[in-house]
Structure 1
Amino acid sequence: MESLNEVWAHLTTAQQDPPGWAVLLSALAALVIVSSTTSWQLSRGLITIAHEGGHALAAVLTRRKLQGIRLHSDTSGVTLTRGRPTGPGMILTALSGYIAPSLLGLGGAWLVSQGYITLLLWAMLVLLAGMLLMIRNLFGVVALLSTGGAVFALSWFAPDEVQSVCAHLVVWFLLFGGVRPIVELQRKRRDGRARDSDADQLARLTFLPGGFYVFFFLLVAGVSLAAGTALMAPWPPDLGLG
């Protein structure tokens, strides 16, 4: 019991915030990664992990049978569930994918704003481990193990200052990266290349059009980005130059 208390105390010990310039620089770096075509293609798989994790968590919470998750080298993914093909459970499962990265980013923004860097990193490890149990293809296993290994190495070996800056970078990436796939989705829908997208599946499950769900996804992503920015980079920014 004493060891568990020590672990919990370690996880919940607040770390010092990085200087304001480091927070702003991490935000700029994340924005560049998401905006650049090349870096986005290399990093987009991390958003896919969050997306499919959102589907999987919603399925479990609504008591659908989670059959497995597949992550592909083209940064796409699929979450397989079994249960009623209609109804609230199916709707919430389909609804959760595109908003998951942004909501994870918002939760992460609150944690880093409170200094709970270690808790954030270990929460990420727990979520990745849970997904690993449901992965059903080799590329997905490699992707999760690589991501989890990087997070573990950061939490175990990196100095507190490095952990804090990297945690901010990850959270900014989730917040910015949660927006771009929604914009890409609408472009594909406009060109008729996304007839089986989450938005269109939701349109078939409900009386609302697919465009409404794209707007909803964007609304959640935009509010999360605004709230996360307020939490991590309050105005006026303290650049730590004084």
Structure 2
Amino acid sequence: MAIESVNDLWDTLMGAQPDPPGLLVLVTAVIGLVVASFRPLWRVARNAVTIAHEGGHALAALLTGRKLRGIRLEFDTSGLTLSAGRPTGPGMMFTLLGGYIAPSLVGLGGAWLLGGNRITLLLWLVVVLLLLMLINIRNVFGVVSLVVTGAIVLGVSWYATPQVQAAFAYAGVWFLLFGGVRPVFELQKLRSRGRMPESDADQLAGVTRIPALFWVGVFLVVDLAALVVGGFMLAGQWLPTISAT
């Protein structure tokens, strides 16, 4: 990427890239689904979902006036976001709610940007969000995880060809849309075995006096809706190619 002035940078970020081949959209959808479904791949890639999950908690805490104390990302792909404020009320409720829906909503936002062919803008926004999150990381693995992830995204956006950027962006967005749904089923499976008594859903139940299963259902409905809407946005890049042949 050759950038000679601020105007060049602005034009690069805000400009639309060419329409991706329809086959690329389809292939990256399959890749995203396979990575989110196949356990060995999921165990590695799930870290991206955890980053979005904890980022969702952090953003919701800040937007509702809570004080963010720090974020931890663990090697086992678990995470923890600490904030200070009232232990009850809307602020705490939205902070707890933000985690399990964040990966899918990030994927939905990415699908919207890709629908407008803003591939470079999407990649750079991801880098900026990772840098903002890095400021609040409180453990070594979390720092390494965000730095490596950010370096990969930045490297692709700066050095890769437009075709590689498109493939990377579409695969990542598809993965977030599919991968945002799976943790909800994992959550309920662990809850049914009594292994997550302090889950987000159970904490929401304590804050709102509404059963935890209701909140699991809210997570699932939001994530499935994001998958459907985001999927249609991305498929819109593929379907015209099919109808034209």
> Smaller-chain TM-score range?
over 0.9
Residue in 2 that maps onto 1:45: 47
> Which stretch of structure 1 is more off in the superposition, 67-76 or 4-13?
4-13
Contact 1:175 1:224 in 2 (8 A): yes
Question: What's the CA shift for 1:18?
Answer: 1.3
Residue in 1 that maps onto 2:234: 232
- Counterpart CA distance in 2 for 1:72 and 1:195 is 19
- Pairs within 5 Å for 1:160-239: 160-234=162-236, 236=239, 238-239=241-242
Question: What's the CA shift for 1:7?
Answer: 2.4
**CA-to-partner distance for each residue in 1:102-151, whole Å, 9 max, x for gaps?**
00000000001100001100100010000100000000000000000000
**CA-to-partner distance for each residue in 1:19-45, whole Å, 9 max, x for gaps?**
111101000011011100100001111
- Pairs within 5 Å for 1:1-242: 3-234=5-236, 236=239, 238-239=241-242, 242=245
- Counterpart CA distance in 1 for 2:174 and 2:74 is 24
- Counterpart CA distance in 2 for 1:155 and 1:240 is 31
- Counterpart CA distance in 2 for 1:187 and 1:237 is 40
Contact 2:56 2:102 in 1 (8 A): yes
Question: What's the CA shift for 1:17?
Answer: 2.0
Contact 2:120 2:157 in 1 (8 A): yes
- Counterpart CA distance in 1 for 2:214 and 2:221 is 10
| CA separation of 1:86 and 1:191: change in aligned 2, threshold 3 A | same
What is the identity percentage for the equivalent residue pairs of Structure 1 and Structure 2?
56
The letter of the residue matching 2:128 is V
Question: What's the CA shift for 1:3?
Answer: 4.5
| CA separation of 1:53 and 1:238: change in aligned 2, threshold 3 A | same
Q: TM-score, normalised by structure 1?
A: 0.96
The letter of the residue matching 2:202 is D
- Counterpart CA distance in 2 for 1:88 and 1:129 is 28
What SS class does the counterpart of residue 14 from structure 1 fall into?
coil
What SS class does the counterpart of residue 238 from structure 1 fall into?
helix
For structure 2, list consecutive stretches of 5 or more residues without a partner in the other structure: none
For structure 1, list consecutive stretches of 5 or more residues without a partner in the other structure: none
The letter of the residue matching 2:159 is F
The letter of the residue matching 2:38 is S
Contact 2:71 2:80 in 1 (8 A): yes
The letter of the residue matching 2:241 is D
Question: What's the CA shift for 1:236?
Answer: 3.9
Q: TM-score, normalised by structure 2?
A: 0.95
What SS class does the counterpart of residue 10 from structure 1 fall into?
helix
- Counterpart CA distance in 2 for 1:100 and 1:164 is 23
- Counterpart CA distance in 2 for 1:3 and 1:84 is 47
